[in-house]
């Protein structure tokens, strides 16, 4: 389980900390833009064939085969667009940030190659507005790339032309959803669109549009360099290549790590990230951002790849592992998750807008001691009614993890409910834990669960989690 | 902070504002040039709405009616259209706020490391200073340095409540904020530069008392007030 066992081949993070890697000079010295030259010497069809052979699956969350996505674009002379989704807002995810900040030329190179394969002549990088440093790095890299003729008209004499614009968002999770992103890029509120038509047919400005995540596009130069088949040898059969994982939460060494897909999850959580601190265990972990159903410590030996995690009832998502240790009440985690999606729901579809709101209200009811065990069933049914009933998957992204928490931690939630009810029922709301313990209410519990929730939530109507509202004061 | 028409009645009798005529609205030259440069980047000028509003907000401090009118005059769109956009996005302010922004991330990863207490301490420390806009923010994408904040767009972390006075001093003096804690300086290959408070020294953690498994980063003040640790 030592970190040395996981010496993955580094494709994206090779010398990532080298000073000046963000400049063209250093990037070229390390072989940068060689893949672009090689790709432009091939026909677009051959480049596409390499991408398909690589088996590269989208790194943004859905895990759709990248080559196939490119091939969905109609052929022929028309305005086609390539949009790089750099609106990295999935809680727990911070891999694209690192790539754009430290190796922006790799992304630019990947975009130019992908646009060549797709026949796109206009491209945009939609980066979340909070990433100021990263957007500045991209702008600087882009200026250098334009100067060197890697972006612009007739790139390196190939006849392929491409404009590339860095577009800064303004803070909205929903703009990471591909059609919400397109609306936002068109200058509107970021509301998702009805699909079909899919963006490959009718996307940005109603034109055929290829949308890919930063990491997906940044992998393209490596695929061209190695050859698609060689790349496909990395990882496991249906999850090829390397993946950046962002590990955070209750681990001793949070951070970004490049792994080969298919290694045991335990090697990531414990081997690379150091696991929870001494004396603590893993209660649950989100394997792919806060939208993925939680897994428990028993699942840590699962290989970390797309299909295994899907089979286990969760998903690899964006590759963001959030570890929650066994001293944290699951209700706190559920509350944070639900409040996030309530805040970020765009409000277009009723099941999501109302479902996220009601889920938060019911969780607050549990915490306030006003719930009955039936409420858990109602809450689970609310989740079921969200899934699959909206234009986009934002609602599902709350319903899936909340549903998994209700299913896997039912006993704990019921105990939490009961304890909160007793506290409330004891007449005053400041009954101490010791008094409750004397009544036997805390018997099964390692420590009090009436802990940190929700202080300072920004959503309208949020309760202030300060002491004295419904939980104990001094 | 609800939009008009939510808690407060909207004036339905009022005729809708039209696209302001360029002659009627004074637009600062720099702002006009910036908006026009953004518009030139896109096949459809409306795509420039977000960067244009962001530019106007930098100029005016928030998306004030005047700021909206200026953008509308340059972009040739109605103010209502721009307001619909401005009210959707978290970073565009539709009410006057302080010039300096402190976004404290309170999403899952940060809150597991005590972000809620950090935010509460920030709000206490700012205590109504109209120049500093402290607010909770959803995941800022820097869970490796949790708990963290984005201070005027600069990511700093990991933060503890002890850092707040120095941080606010830097903000008010217009200096670089806690330079040694800025994300920009962090190396990928040095995970120890990330969130540290978490028992990086297990021995020390044990010395605190084996029975008490309280995390050092977790919020002693508000969240577990009745315990009075330390």
pLDDT-based confidence at B186, cuts 50/70/90? confident
Dist CA A163 CA B117 (whole Å):
46
B205 touches chain A (CB under 8 A): yes
Q: How many CA atoms lie less than 13 Å away from B183 in the CB half-sphere?
A: 28
Q: What is the ipTM of this complex?
A: 0.86
pLDDT averaged over every residue in chain B: 83
Is A168 in contact with B138 (Cβ distance < 8 A)?
A: no
Distance from the Cα of B120 to chain A's closest Cα (Å) equals 7
User: What is the mean predicted confidence (pLDDT) over A278-291?
Assistant: 95
d(CA A425, CA B84): 46
Predicted local confidence at residue B187, as pLDDT: 86
What pLDDT score does B11 carry?
81
Interface probe, candidates B143, B147, B192, chain A, greatest A C-beta count within 10 A: B143
Q: Which among B10, B23, B13 is positioned nearest to B69, based on CA atoms?
A: B23
Helix (H, G, I), strand (E, B) or coil at A321: strand
Please say if the pLDDT value at position B131 is more than 60.
yes
**C-alpha distance across the termini of chain A, in Å:** 44
pLDDT band at A465 (very low <50, low <70, confident <90, very high): very low
Report how far apart, in Å, the C-alpha atoms of B165 and of each of A204, B8, B32, B109, B122 are.
Answer: 46, 38, 38, 24, 9
Query: Is a pLDDT exceeding 60 seen at residue A321?
Result: yes
- Whether A249 and B112 lie within 8 Å, measured CB to CB: yes
Residues A349, A359: Cα–Cα separation, whole Å: 16
Res A9: pLDDT: 78
- Taking an 8 Å cut-off on Cβ atoms, the answer to whether A91 and B109 are in contact is yes
Lookup result for tokens 């300086």: B185
Whether chain A has a CB inside 8 Å of the CB on B23: the answer is no
The span from the CA of A198 to the CA of A73, in Å, is: 10
Q: pTM of the entire structure?
A: 0.87
- Report whether pLDDT(A440) > 60: no
**Residue A347's closest CA among A226, A460, A185?**
A460
Phi, psi of A110 (to 5 degrees): -60, -40
CB atoms within 10 A of CB B75: 22
Indicate the residue of A246, A343, A432 with minimum beta-carbon distance to B226.
A432
Nearest to A458 among B136, B190, B205 (CB): B136
- Rounded to an integer, the average pLDDT of B157-161 is 93
Which residues are registered as beta bridge partners of A127?
Answer: A86, A168
- Average pLDDT over chain A, rounded to whole? 89
- Of B121, B177, B191, B214, which to mutate for an interface test with A (greatest number of A Cβ within 10 Å)? B191
- Please, are residues B152 and B170 in contact by the beta-carbon 8 Å criterion? no
Q: Residues A199-211: pLDDT tens digits?
A: 999 999 999 999 9
What domains are there in chain B, each with its CATH number? 29-86 (1.10.10), 100-199 (3.40.30.10)
Please report the domains of chain A, with CATH numbers, ordered by start residue. Answer: 3-232 (3.40.50.11540), 235-318 (3.10.20.600), 330-438 (1.20.1440.230)
pLDDT above 50: residue A11: yes
For residue A459, give the 3-state DSSP assignment: coil
> Would you call B66 an interface residue with chain A, using a CB distance cutoff of 8 Å?
no
Q: Is the pLDDT of residue A40 over 60?
A: yes
Q: How many beta-carbon contacts under 8 Å exist across A and B?
A: 241
**Which residue's structure tokens are 């005059």?**
B73
Average pLDDT estimate for B197-226? 34
Best of B139, B192, B228 to mutate (most A CBs within 10 Å, chain A): B139
**pLDDT value for B9:** 78
Nearest by CB to residue B144, choosing from A122, A256, A433, is A256
Closest of A120, A204, A127 to residue B42, by C-alpha: A204
- Residue B16's Cβ-count burial label (10 Å; 0-12, 13-18, 19+) is exposed
C-alpha to C-alpha distance for A206 and A179, rounded to whole angstroms: 11
Residue A4's pLDDT is: 41
Residues from chain A that touch B139, judged by Cβ atoms under 8 A, are 89-93, 173, 290, 340
Across the range B190-216, mean pLDDT stands at 40
Statement: residue A459 has pLDDT above 50 = no
Question: In this predicted structure, what is the pLDDT of residue A7?
Answer: 55
Alpha-carbon gap: B14 to the closest alpha carbon of chain A (Å): 24
pLDDT in tens, B7-45: 887 788 888 889 999 889 999 999 999 999 999 999 999
How large is the C-alpha radius of gyration of chain A?
24
Structural contact between residues A12 and A99, judged by C-beta atoms closer than 8 angstroms: yes
- The shortest C-alpha distance from B107 to chain A (Å) reads 7
> Has residue A456 got a pLDDT over 80?
no
pLDDT computed for residue A448 by the predictor: 40
Residue B191 has a pLDDT of 60
Shortest distance, CA A430 to any CA of chain B (angstroms):
9
Q: What is the pLDDT of residues A381-403, one digit of tens each?
A: 999 999 999 999 999 999 999 99
pLDDT band at B2 (very low <50, low <70, confident <90, very high): low
* Residue whose pair of structure tokens reads 């005053």 in the numeric block: A428
Strands (E), chain B: 100-105, 132-137, 149-151, 154-156
Of the candidate ranges A49-58, A80-89, B191-200, B209-218, the one whose mean pLDDT is the lowest: B209-218
Cα separation, B161 vs B117, whole angstroms: 8
pLDDT at A454: 37
Q: In this predicted structure, what is the pLDDT of residue A153?
A: 97
pLDDT tens readout for residues A117-127 = 999 999 999 99
Q: What number is the average pLDDT over the span A450-460?
A: 38
Q: Rounded distance, CA A363 to CA B134, Å?
A: 27
Asked if the Cβ–Cβ distance from B136 to A165 is below 8 Å, we say no
pLDDT per residue as tens digits for the range B39-61 = 999 999 999 999 999 999 999 99
Q: Dihedrals φ, ψ of A126, to 5°?
A: -90, 105
Q: What pLDDT does residue A455 have?
A: 37
Does B89 contact A472 at a Cβ distance shorter than 8 Å? no
Q: From CA A108, how far away is CA A438, in angstroms rounded?
A: 64
Contact B146, B113 (CB under 8 A): yes
SS3 annotation, A178-225: HHHHHHHHCCCCCCCCCCCCCCCCCCHHHCCEEEEEHHHHHHHHHHHH
Give yes or no for residue A6 having a pLDDT over 70.
no
Q: Which residue would you say has higher pLDDT here, B127 or B69?
A: B69
Residue A474 has a pLDDT of 31
Cα separation, A215 vs B177, whole angstroms? 30
Element housing A259 (H / E) = strand A255-260
């Amino acid at each position: 389980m030592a970190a040395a066992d996981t010496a993955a081949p580094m494709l994206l993070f090779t010398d990532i900390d080298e000073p000046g890697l963000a400049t063209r000079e250093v990037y070229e010295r390390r072989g940068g833009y060689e893949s672009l030259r090689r790709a432009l010497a091939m026909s677009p069809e051959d480049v596409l064939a390499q991408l398909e052979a690589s088996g590269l699956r989208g790194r943004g969350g859905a895990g759709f085969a990248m080559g196939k996505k490119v091939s969905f674009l109609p052929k022929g002379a028309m305005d086609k667009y390539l949009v790089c989704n750099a609106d990295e807002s999935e809680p727990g995810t911070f891999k694209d940030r690192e790539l754009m900040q430290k190796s922006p030329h790799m992304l630019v190179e990947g975009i130019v190659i992908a646009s060549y394969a797709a026949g796109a002549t206009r491209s945009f990088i939609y980066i979340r507005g909070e990433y100021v440093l990263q957007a500045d790095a991209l702008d600087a890299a882009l200026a250098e790339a334009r100067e060197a003729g890697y972006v612009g008209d007739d790139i390196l004499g190939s006849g392929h032309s491409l404009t590339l614009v860095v577009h800064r968002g303004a803070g909205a999770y929903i703009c990471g959803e591909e059609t919400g992103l397109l609306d936002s890029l068109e200058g509107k509120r970021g509301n998702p669109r009805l699909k079909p038509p899919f963006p490959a047919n009718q996307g940005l400005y109603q034109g055929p549009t290829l949308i890919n995540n930063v990491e997906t596009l940044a992998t393209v130069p490596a695929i061209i360099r190695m050859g698609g088949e060689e790349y496909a040898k990395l990882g496991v059969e249906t999850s090829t290549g390397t993946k950046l994982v962002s590990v955070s939460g209750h681990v001793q060494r949070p951070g970004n790590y490049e792994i080969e897909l298919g290694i045991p999850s335990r090697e990531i959580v414990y081997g690379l990230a150091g696991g929870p601190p001494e004396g603590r265990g893993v209660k649950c972990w989100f394997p792919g951002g806060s939208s993925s159903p939680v897994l428990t410590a028993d699942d840590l030996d699962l290989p970390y790849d797309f299909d295994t995690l899907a089979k286990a009832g969760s998903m690899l998502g964006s590759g963001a592992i959030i570890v929650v240790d066994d001293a944290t009440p699951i209700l706190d985690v559920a509350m944070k998750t639900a409040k996030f999606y309530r805040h970020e729901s765009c409000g277009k579809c009723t099941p999501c807008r109302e479902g996220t709101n009601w889920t938060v209200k019911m969780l607050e009811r549990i915490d306030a001691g006003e719930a009955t065990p039936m409420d858990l069933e109602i809450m689970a049914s609310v989740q079921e009614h969200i899934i699959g009933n909206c234009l986009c998957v934002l609602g599902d992204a709350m319903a899936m993890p909340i549903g998994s928490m209700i299913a896997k931690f039912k006993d704990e939630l019921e105990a939490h409910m009961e304890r909160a009810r007793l506290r409330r029922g004891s007449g005053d709301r400041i009954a101490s834990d010791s008094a409750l313990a004397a009544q036997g209410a805390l018997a099964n519990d390692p420590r009090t669960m009436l802990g940190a929730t929700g202080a300072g939530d920004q959503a309208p109507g949020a309760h202030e989690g300060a002491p004295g509202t419904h939980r104990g004061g001094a | 902070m609800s939009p008009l028409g939510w808690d407060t009645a909207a004036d339905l009798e009022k005729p809708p504002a039209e696209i302001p005529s360029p002659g009627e609205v004074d637009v600062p030259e720099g702002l006009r040039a910036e908006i026009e440069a953004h518009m030139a980047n896109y096949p459809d000028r409306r795509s420039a709405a977000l960067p244009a509003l962001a530019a106007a907000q930098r100029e005016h401090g928030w998306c004030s009616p005047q700021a909206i009118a200026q953008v509308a005059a340059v972009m040739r769109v109605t103010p209502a259209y721009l307001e619909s956009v401005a009210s959707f996005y978290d970073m565009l302010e539709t009410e006057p706020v302080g010039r300096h922004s402190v976004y404290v991330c309170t999403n899952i990863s940060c809150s597991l490391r005590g972000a809620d207490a950090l935010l509460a301490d920030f709000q206490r420390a700012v205590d109504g200073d109209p120049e500093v806009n402290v607010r909770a923010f959803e995941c800022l994408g820097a869970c490796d340095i949790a708990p963290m904040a984005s201070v005027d767009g600069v990511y700093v972390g990991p933060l503890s409540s002890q850092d707040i006075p120095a941080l606010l001093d830097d903000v008010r003096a217009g200096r670089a904020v806690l330079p040694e804690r800025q994300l920009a300086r962090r190396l990928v290959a040095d995970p120890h530069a990330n969130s540290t408070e978490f028992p990086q020294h297990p021995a020390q953690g044990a010395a605190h008392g084996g029975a008490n498994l309280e995390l050092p980063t977790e919020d002693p003040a508000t969240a577990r007030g009745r315990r009075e640790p330390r």
